[in-house]
Amino acid sequence: MRAPSPEAHREKPERPAPPEHRPPQPVVPKTETPKSDSPKPGRPPGPLHPGSLQRRLLAAALVLITAALVVAGVAIGLVLHRFVRGQLDSRLDSQLVALGAGLERGPGGALRLSRDFDGPPFDRDRAGWYWQVRRGGQVLRSGSLDGRDLAAQASPEGPRGSDQPRPADGTGPWGESLILRVLVLPAEGPGPPTVLVASAPAAALRGPLREAGGALALILGILGVSLVAGTLAQVRLGLRPLERLRRDLAAVRAGERDRVPGKQPAEIRPLVEEVNALLDQNAANLERARTHVANLAHGLKTPLATLTLALSDRTRDPDGVLANLVASMDRQVRHHLRRARAGALGGATRTRTPLAEPVADLRTTFARLYSEKGLVLDVSLPAGAAVACDGQDLDEMLGNLIDNACQWCRGYVRISAAASEAGLVVAVEDDGPGLAPEAAAEAVRPGRRLDETVPGNGFGLSITQELAELYGGGLHLDRSGLGGLRAALTLPV
């Protein structure tokens, strides 16, 4: 059996005094165990958590992608508009140039065309595709105008009378919206200039732009979704080392590893080095604390042992008062040394200790110590059960609880373990008289002995509770289904 005592110079540990047992009482409700202040590892925040790096990066990327797509959409739309308008203007300008080239003088100086210019699309009535030639009072029109005039006000672009077409403002004879181009040919004498006008319906510009705009919006939408998905994948891939680091730190905290692996991305490696340096420093501090505690234990126990030996002579202490005082001092020293050693664990990483081996050792030991009772020690543990606890401290806690159960049982002690949200609950139950409800809190007070007729020092349960709380667990006492006491020890896994 591994000795429950944590001191460096191991001696056979005193069995802690059990709590006072009284006649059977009604079932006792569980006493609440004070919660540990040690942080419990939790799940990492999700991508929608307000403080999530992933959320911040995605939000920034979404804003930038949206702004870029809007700018790109506007720019491409302007380019498309300019291209389609240019194609339309070129078509109208070609019609104007052809009209100008086909003008000739008829008999008596009448204005006429050398051929028919009402080819498609200028052959459709009221379709917006019109042309008109005017010189003074003479007017030539496309058949689509149905004899009506096409009014157009040329823009000031270009020199008046130039041989280049330019845009114009105006509407169709039926009030329709048109795109107009005007070509003014200078007069060949004292007469008025010749004004040529060609038009296309505004739908000829809006239709292609609408179709192109729909396709453009679809393409930009697909591009935006692809960019967001790619950014999400990139962010998750970029943050994956942080998740691995979190798991590595959780493994160190649980005692599965001593250090964080140094193989990390260059951006995280300095952080890992600092964490490992802190772990090394804490381990060194813990080792120094344990050494100091062991030295203190040795320095105090030797004088106390000498006093005990000297006072064994009844002539020096006939009434036993001094011997009782020395024994009390020894109990206090042992108690506070255990607390000091356990407190040093607060800054250290934990080791995982399997439960089966220490329980088996303790079962064998206490079966021999209480062989006169013919004890039945029933053990039921899950396969592979382990706790995040130092092996010596685990022996100390289990030894106190099993010793207490063996002292007060009638012949049967059950040791079991089960997983819970808080960790692993190790229950030690006996078929003895049990514990009164009002005595549960008193039983775990340091040095409190509820039954002075039973040997012990009254520190066993208090030490067990303090050690459990230092590891983030706890101890609670209640009535067992066997009729006696049930001591449930909760430890992290």
Express each pLDDT in 443-490 by its tens digit: 665 544 444 444 444 567 888 888 888 888 999 888 888 988 999 999
Looking only at Cα atoms, what is the longest distance across the chain? Answer: 165
CA 186 remoteness from chain centre: 79
Give the model's confidence band at 12: pLDDT under 50 very low, under 70 low, under 90 confident, else very high: very low
CB atoms < 10 A from the CB of 333, how many? 15
- For residue 489, the cross-strand partners are 426, 475
Cβ atoms of 169 and 180 within 8 Å: the answer is: yes
> What's the rounded mean pLDDT across residues 384-390?
89
Give the pairing type, strands 103-105 and 111-113.
antiparallel
Find tokens 């192109």 and name the residue. Answer: 212
What whole-number distance in Å separates Cα of residue 198 and Cα of residue 357?
102
Q: If you classify domain 1-41+350-493 with CATH, what class do you get?
A: alpha beta
Cα gap 432→409, rounded to integer Å: 4
Spatial distance between the Cα atoms of 180 and 78, rounded to a whole number of angstroms = 20
Distance of alpha carbon 417 from alpha carbon 384, whole angstroms: 11
Q: Strands 412-420 and 376-380: what pairing? A: parallel
For residues 475 and 488, give the distance between their C-alpha atoms in angstroms, rounded to a whole number: 6
In the prediction, which pLDDT does 454 show? 47
Interatomic CA distance for residues 226 and 119, integer angstroms: 48
Model pTM? 0.53
Residue 184: partners with Cβ closer than 8 Å, 6 or more residues away: 154, 160, 161, 162, 193, 194, 195, 196
- Pick the more confident residue, 239 or 45: 239
Tell me: the pLDDT tens digits for 133-188? 998 888 898 988 888 888 877 655 544 555 789 898 888 888 889 999 999 988 77
Stronger pLDDT, 470 or 73, i.e. the higher one: 73
- The residue ranges of every structural domain in the chain are 1-41+350-493, 44-253, 256-349
* 126's tokens: 């009221």
DSSP label at 171? Answer: B
- Distance, CA of 185 to CA of 45 (rounded, Å): 76
Q: What digits encode the pLDDT tens for the residues 256-312?
A: 788 888 888 888 889 999 999 998 898 888 788 778 877 877 777 778 888 888 887
118-129 mean pLDDT? 85
> Which range (106-110, 382-386, 416-420) has the least confidence?
106-110
How does pLDDT run across 80-100, given as a tens digit for each residue?
A: 999 999 999 999 999 999 998
For residue 184, list its beta bridge partners.
195
